[in-house]
Structure 1
Amino acid sequence: MKEQLIKAMQRNQLVDLMYISKSGEISKRRVKVIKITSDSFQAYCFLKNAKRTFILDNVLAAIPVMHREREVI
C-alpha cells in the first residue's frame, strides 16, 4: 500500500482511497499525497477540502486516478 502511495506522490497523481476512521466509519476519499512518513501520510482531501493526516494501516484500498485525454476524430 505504501509503495502505491509513494508512486502516486512521485507522479503527482490523485488517489481514490477507501479509508476506515478511528471510530470505524468507512469513507471513500479522493486525495493528493503530499508527504509520507513511516506510519502515516499527509494528503489534501477533496472530500473535506483540507489537508489531512491518514494512518497507513487504516487505508483499505488505494487506486490511482487515471486521466486520459480524449481526442476528437
Structure 2
Amino acid sequence: MREQLIKAMQRNQLVDIMYIAKNGSVTKRRVRVIKIVGDSFQAFCFTRQAKRSFIIRNVLAVTPVFRKEREVV
C-alpha cells in the first residue's frame, strides 16, 4: 500500500481508498495524498471536505481515479 500511496502523492493523483476506521467500520474515501510520515499519511478527503490523517496499515485497497475528458461534438 505504501508504494501506491507514494506514487499517488508524487503524481498528485486522486485515489479511492477502502479504509478501516477506528470504530471498525469500512469506508470508501476519495483522497489526494499530501504527505506520508512514518506509519501514517495526511490527505485531503473529498468525502469530509477536510484534511485527514490515515494509518497506512488500515488501508485495504488503493485505486487510482482516472478522469475521462468529455468531448463536445
The aligned counterpart of 2:55 is 55
Identity of aligned residues (%): 68
For 1:1-73, what aligned pairs fall within 5 Å after superposition?
1-72=1-72
> Unpaired segments of 5 or more residues in structure 1?
none
Q: TM-score, normalised by structure 2?
A: 0.92
Could you say what secondary structure the match of 1:68 adopts? coil
Q: TM-score, normalised by structure 1?
A: 0.92
CA RMSD of aligned residues (A): 1.1
> Unpaired segments of 5 or more residues in structure 2?
none
> What is the CA distance between 1:68 and its match in structure 2?
2.8
Deviations 1:6-38 (A, max 9, x none): 101111100100000111010000000000012
> What is the CA distance between 1:72 and its match in structure 2?
4.9
Deviations 1:46-69 (A, max 9, x none): 111100000000000000111232
Runs of 4+ in 1 over 2 A off after TM superposition: 68-73
- Structure 1 residues 62-71 or 38-47, which shifts more? 62-71
